[in-house]
A = this chain, B = another copy of it.
Amino acid sequence: MNINEVSKKFGLPKDTLRYWEKEGLIPAIKRDQNGYRVYSEYDQNWIFYILVLRKAGMPVKKLKQFVALYLHEPQTRKKRRELLEMQRDELIKQTHDIQKTINYLTYKIDHFDDQLLTFENEKLAYEKKVD
């Protein structure tokens, strides 16, 4: 697959694909005799992985670190799986943070007609433990 096909497959601008490669988010893509990029299945899986994490708000810098660790930590499969688990944990933490804001808004909505909306109460609604 060439860059145009991959671009269409994932709905990603070609410039972004080249940018991600330059930044080391995806491996260096093989070239044909003209220097044109040829994306393998493996490359495409990797792009999907990066795309999904980027859509979830994971910054490029952090992904770069993960990828570098993943590639330069070839010791054990265990280590690599742990990296995925770390990434998942970060996302779980992120949903908890957003959940706190949802709780806060729910409090504001439920008490919208009350006159006694104090900062203290709103803060408590925000800090309310996420189950």
Contacts and interface: CB of A to CB of B under 8 A. Distances in A.
Interface of A: 41, 44-45, 48-49, 52-53, 55-57, 77, 80-81, 84-85, 87-88, 91-92, 94-95, 97-102, 104-106, 108-109, 112-113, 117, 119, 122-123, 126
6 contacts: A45-B117, A49-B122, A52-B100, A52-B104, A88-B105, A91-B102
Contacts of A100: 52, 56
Contacts of A49: 108, 122
B105 A101 contact: no
B105 A48 contact: no
B41 A119 contact: yes
Given A119-B44, A119-B45, A122-B45, A57 B112 contact: no
A25 to B, nearest CB: 16
Closest 8 CB pairs of A and B: A56-B101, A88-B105, A81-B112, A56-B98, A95-B95, A84-B109, A91-B102, A52-B101
